[in-house]
Chain A
């Protein structure tokens, strides 16, 4: 399941688009948002969750977006996520938020 998951998502997305071959190819590419989201998976995965760090695969994209912005803007208390969140623009946060559930 794991190893084919990403592929299947990509394929499903391609089929759902039912567009031109060019569109299908574009969807099949690794994107910047996807690669940035992969970076976060170092801590934010199922094993980290057992020790108290949220597994982002289980959190809706909208919540990830709002919480990253809250960490960045000082609206949410943090030990380390404020320091991370300050490295991302609104566009970058939005670009990666949707990918976590796909890994």
Chain B
């Protein structure tokens, strides 16, 4: 049923053009020029699912197809709560039922293996092809295992990254449960840029929360190639207050840079070989790049990310392809679910306006990122962005992190808002 022939595709394109040229007369009937076009969205995470939903909100008669291989999507945000032992996998599971049933989005459960940009069609692993007028890709991240000697992708079954939520999340959780009291949890943190900048540090916070309750003699060591990290002062304030000296963070310039991983001995070599750190549970979060399909289609730059026109998130490489979310180069916007959600709305509006022959608009967008230090103690960073001089940039005077030295009731309110944020954004994306 998804096997569109070239001739059918041309018919669709013809209708689109006719509708676009109809312009004002069409709009007078309450429809937009975009209505008959077909937009295919690849990837059902925060960026892709938001784009699909808002395309239908902005232009209800548009035909929208969302291609995603997994029937259930597990959000990366919230997965640290599972690892910390106070949420289960069902809590972070999202389905596509509402997008299909309430928004009339066609859900195709398959993997895109190739894109023919000239023919404007995507090929699925089953062999079928789907034609598009506009293609949206939100492929997320893949890992650069080659950057770390001694370990390869297949080792993730023993040494989880848990940086894509799902079975990896459960694996890390079960390893922590099996670890004896007095054990050592070692995290090898990733270099910039990577998905969810505060995520590694929230994770160690919540592992510490679990250890404090169940295995209080245990230790946590973060080996970090960086010399600083997101919300660092606030995390360290919270660690001191709640976990004493359980968490040890080693900066890149202070011996923290991992140089090789000995998988069989669960040991990380660091500091020019002077340091060998043995782990009972090892969480290696590799360096990252855009999801593989973006590379296959030829959309990536030398650094492995996708350059886009940051006003519309249209690929610099192809006029009919939009790329958003973690895979894209988005100026000051961090690689976060909230950024992807906001970008999805920008992309949806840009596509509907372009199909209607209108110029793009320059909105402002936002990022809100909460991190739990304990289940009742959260810190946040917020920002407002606008496109300026070719890039998404923070609006002067806006944004920033939670105050340092705030009261426990302030931290608790932010912990409550953390749960509200999760409920809200998942409803906005998949609800």
Contact = CB atoms under 8 A, between A and B. Distances in A.
B410 A79 contact: yes
A96 B323 CA distance: 26
Contacts of A43: 368, 420-421, 424-425, 428
Contacts of A25: 23-24, 27-28
A22 B26 CA distance: 11
Interface string B47-58: 000000010111
A39 B60 contact: no
Contact of A48 (B58, B104, B423): B423
Contacts of A16: none
Nearest to A11: B30
Contacts of B365: 36, 39
Interface in A34-92: 35-36, 38-48, 50-53, 79-80, 83-88, 92
Given A35-B349, A42-B368, A6 B420 contact: no
B65 to A, nearest CB: 15
B114 interface: no
Which of under 10, 10 to 19, 20 to 34, or 35 or more describes the interface residues of B?
A: 35 or more
Interface in B343-371: 345-346, 349, 352-353, 356, 358, 361-366, 368
Interface residues of A, number: 44
Contacts of A28: 27, 30, 32
A26 to B, nearest CB: 9
Interface string B11-32: 0000000000001110110101
B289 to A, nearest CB: 26
Interface string B416-430: 110111011111100
Interface stretch (B121-129, B211-219, B262-270, B398-406): B398-406
Interface string B333-346: 00000100110011
A48 B398 contact: no
A84 B380 CA distance: 12
B361 A32 contact: yes
Given A39-B364, A43-B424, A86-B398, 5 more contacts: A3-B102, A4-B60, A30-B58, A41-B428, A86-B384
15 contacts: A2-B103, A3-B103, A6-B58, A10-B30, A25-B27, A28-B27, A30-B361, A32-B362, A36-B365, A45-B428, A52-B420, A83-B399, A86-B384, A86-B395, A87-B383
Interface of B: 23-25, 27-28, 30, 32, 54, 56-58, 60-61, 102-104, 338, 341-342, 345-346, 349, 352-353, 356, 358, 361-366, 368, 380, 382-384, 395, 397-400, 402, 410, 413-414, 416-417, 419-421, 423-428, 431
Interface of A: 2-4, 6-7, 10-11, 14, 21-22, 24-25, 28-32, 35-36, 38-48, 50-53, 79-80, 83-88, 92, 103
